[in-house]
Structure 1
Amino acid sequence: MGQEACVRREPWTLAFTAEPKEVAGLRRAMRLHLGIWGLHEVVDQAQLCVSELASNVITHVGTGTPATLAVSMNGVRLRIEVRDPDTRALPTLLHVNVDAEGGRGMALVDALAERWGVELGPDRKVTWCELATGLASPSGHVEGPGVRRAQALLESCTDTRTLCGTGEGKVARAMSQESVITVITDFLHWLRAHGCDVDEALDRAQSRYEAELERR
């Protein structure tokens, strides 16, 4: 049942070969990692951007090109990079007709992302985009109604300096988690004192939590 008050979102990379069959695997990896990071709301947009950036390499650099997907957080934005060794074929934003079958790739990325660009190095090109996540802090959670209610409750019951987003490192995360556990424990005592079935309440809370995650 436990989920840390702060989420560690470490950068990750995945090497791939620029082939159409690889795109589905990149999409699955993106969904898996964003689920672990708690960024369910941006999974669809992120998968589309990954598909378009990878397809851009396939189409304009060439099938079989060794490439790398890199995903990280830039503040509260999700940053997606696709790296390839060709510094000549630069992505361009085309204004295509709605009936056109091609040329939509970067236009779609431009529509989904807050910003995107291309960085050139001596031996590689990095095409990147950044998506808004709805996070209040890089290690926090998406600001849904449940998160806001929990934050307000914690601030009324604990020292706000121990809460997620106001400190750094493992110590701050441990203090945040301990604050949450203390409040949950107090509620369990309250339920027992009022003759409620604690196990039933925990089961109902877990079921409701999982159902809300599935709806995202």
Structure 2
Amino acid sequence: MTSPSTPVESASVGHPAYSQTYSCEPSTAEIGRNLVRDVLRVWRLDVLADRAELIVTELIANAVRHAPCDEIRLIVGRPSPTRVRIGLVDQEPSRHPVVRRASGDDESGRGLLLIDAVSDRWGYDLHGSGRRPRAKEVWAELRVQDDE
């Protein structure tokens, strides 16, 4: 588990990434926010932290609510020098994320709308082979500005 007393180190070659497996429960959101903030600090991309924390919070909330599983895996990576990708892997590949329009009275249902609003792009990938994927990763990307 990452905390302020446990520094995150980035890879010096290739596409750096950090991942951690957590319990699939609401309290994981705070731990996930701390992880993403620590990783962005190491990469000197603190300016992305607020949006990244919102993305992590919503991804974890969706997994807890819609993917009955024991564990989830949070991944924070740099697929390219101009992108940060935040992904959450769960073991429920048959439940794909769907954006829905919540009414004013609804207490939930806006998570993917928020992710869509604060990220540059988002989507999901199925993990595994053939017709029987073993997991699903829902991800969102933030663009790194040249001056960041």
TM over 0.5: yes
Structure showing the higher strand proportion among its residues: 2
Unaligned runs of 5+ in 2: 1-10, 128-132
Structure showing the higher helix proportion among its residues: 1
Q: Aligned match of 2:92 in 63, 68, 86?
A: 86
Equivalent position amino acid for 1:91 in 2: P
Where 1:86 maps in the other structure, the secondary structure is coil
1:32 and 2:38 equivalent? yes
1:114 and 2:100 equivalent? no
- CA RMSD in angstroms, aligned pairs only: 1.7
Match of 2:76 in 1: 71
- Structure 1 segment 3-82 matched on structure 2, within 5 A: 8=12, 10-62=16-68, 65-75=70-80, 76-82=82-88
- Deviation string, structure 1 residues 160-184 (Cα, Å, up to 9, x no partner): xxxxxxxxxxxxxxxxxxxxxxxxx
**Larger Rg: 1 or 2?**
1
Name the count of aligned residue pairs.
130
TM-score for both structures, normalised by structure 1: 0.57
* Structure number with higher relative contact order (C-alpha < 8 Å, ≥ 6 residues apart): 2
Percent identical among aligned pairs is 30
- Deviation string, structure 1 residues 109-133 (Cα, Å, up to 9, x no partner): 0101111111112201011110122
Unaligned runs of 5+ in 1: 1-6, 137-142, 145-216
TM-score for both structures, normalised by structure 2: 0.81
Equivalent position amino acid for 2:138 in 1: T
Distance of 2:125 and 2:45 partners within structure 1: 26
- Deviation string, structure 1 residues 132-174 (Cα, Å, up to 9, x no partner): 221x3xxxxxx16xxxxxxxxxxxxxxxxxxxxxxxxxxxxxx
